[in-house]
Amino acid sequence: PSSPDWAAVRADFPVLTRQVHGKPLIYFDSANTGQKPAAVIEAVDDFYRRHNANVSRAVHALGSEATEAYEGARAKLARFLNVRTDELVLCSGTTFAINLVAYSWALPRLQPGDAIVLTRMEHHANIVPWQLVAQRTGATIRVAEIDERGQLDLPQLYGLLTPEVKLLALTHVSNVLGTVNPVREICREARKRGIVTLVDGSQAAPHRPLDVAAIGCDFYAVTGHKMSGPTGTGALWARREHLDAMPPFVGGGEMIKEVRFEGTVFADGPRKFEAGTPNIAGFVGLGAAVDYLSALGMAQVDAREQELLAHFNAALAEVPGLRIFGQAQEKAAVVSFLIEGAHAHDLATLLDLEGVAIRSGHHCAHPLMQHFGVPATCRASLAYYNTHEEIDAFVAALHKVRKLLA
Ligand code: PMP
């Protein structure tokens, strides 16, 4: 398929026409949350204007339209991830998805002597739930380390996968380093040893063609707000055998077949984990986002972002005193950096005055910061709607603020 007209694509994003401090906005914080095309904003607006009703509770026309829209979003997302609709639990995002596995799958199963393997580059959302489970079960946590390029040390990781290990939870793409982990190979090694795997797809789903079924993991978590969709949307894919064996995590309406005071019969499949009224409008928006991304083609999105990253790296090479964290062979368009003599927050604050939005801080990855021996980094993260001109303007702004700080 021919490449999309990227200038036209960019024009689909209303917020990108904004000025900030009198300068055109340069939004380089998409790893934090992605911007939304008009199609997504309009889908949410249209839902509230014309269809708003609760799902599954009403026989009236609006009720069935809302249910159809919500289930339609599940079907679209399932197709996008290449998974079965009846294995896809809709939830508020990756944080909830991982906690669901922690509380519903791991908590009843793990015992003293068991171990969970995580990696050095995990987001706190893929660390803290496991610590809570470990504290309550007596299981221990082992850490797979990274090399100087910010890639997983695979022999060390495989060495950790002894018979005590019940779960390996790792990110597909690092939100700080951009490292793309070879999750297919890693999950194959884990599976050979009977170890269940969870892959955090937060930073992969927005950027690359995905075939979750082919990865061979047991659980895969995604978050809608990084995929050009609304906040408060996301999903957990799980093998049906796991879903059937897992007790519900949150109880309430919508997740039952029959409730008696003597006991409750739960709904089958994903529904068992979707108690209460979901973020219906949000999922309508996520359905529109998935349509939007699919129309662009994820291979095209990936190629565009790789081309932007190559330009970005070349331009950054001219900035004196710049230290880049993470130089993986396979890398998403995320660049964490520091400039000698300048604090990350000062850099980000001065860049904001130039209209540039980047994140500074620990990026919810304290153990990774500890590894590098820094309290914080700056992180510029790109998406397909960014431009070469923005990269040049960003690097010019960086030269300017460097002179003020360094
Ligand atoms: N994991 C990774 C790798 C992330 O980048 C993020 C978001 N910063 C999360 C988990 C948390 O996802 P959510 O925003 O859905 O809670």
Strand bridging mode 115-119 / 88-91: unpaired
Domain ranges of the chain: 6-30+297-405, 42-294
Q: Is 378 a catalytic residue?
A: no
Specify the 3-state DSSP secondary structure of 303.
helix
Assigned token pair, 144: 């797979």
For tokens 């990026």, name the residue: 363
pTM of the model: 0.97
Q: What is the pLDDT of residues 295-319, one digit of tens each?
A: 999 999 999 999 999 999 999 999 9
Looking at the predicted structure, is the pLDDT value of residue 279 above 80?
Answer: yes
Render 220-269 in DSSP notation, one character per residue. Answer: EEEEGGGTTS-TT-EEEEE-HHHHHHSPPSS-STTSEEEEETTEEEEPSG
Residue 175, ligand 1, Cβ within 6 A: yes
CA of 396 to the centre of ligand 1 (A): 30
Looking at the predicted structure, is the pLDDT value of residue 78 above 80?
Answer: yes
CATH tag for 6-30+297-405 (out of 3.20.20.100, 3.40.50.150, 3.90.1150.10, 1.10.3720.10)? 3.90.1150.10
Backbone angles phi, psi at 384, to 5 degrees: -60, -20
Contact 146, 121 (CB under 8 A): yes
CA of 94 to the centre of ligand 1 (A): 6
Q: Which of 91, 187, 364, 378 is catalytic?
A: 364
51 C-beta neighbours (distance < 10 Å), count: 18
CA of 36 to the centre of ligand 1 (A): 17
> How high is the pLDDT of residue 2?
79
Ligand 1: which of 203, 219, 228, 236 to mutate, most ligand atoms within 8 Å of CB? 203
User: What percent of the chain lies above the pLDDT cut of 70?
Assistant: 100
Average confidence (pLDDT) over 135-164:
98
Residue 282, ligand 1, Cβ within 6 A: no
**Which atom, in ligand 1's list, is nearest to the CA of 125?**
10
CA of 231 to the centre of ligand 1 (A): 11
Widest distance between CA atoms in the chain:
72
CATH of domain 42-294: 3.40.640.10
Beta strands in 297-397 (DSSP E): 322-325, 334-339, 356-357, 359-361, 377-381
Give CA–CA dist 202/222, Å, rounded.
5
Looking at the predicted structure, is the pLDDT value of residue 57 above 80?
Answer: no
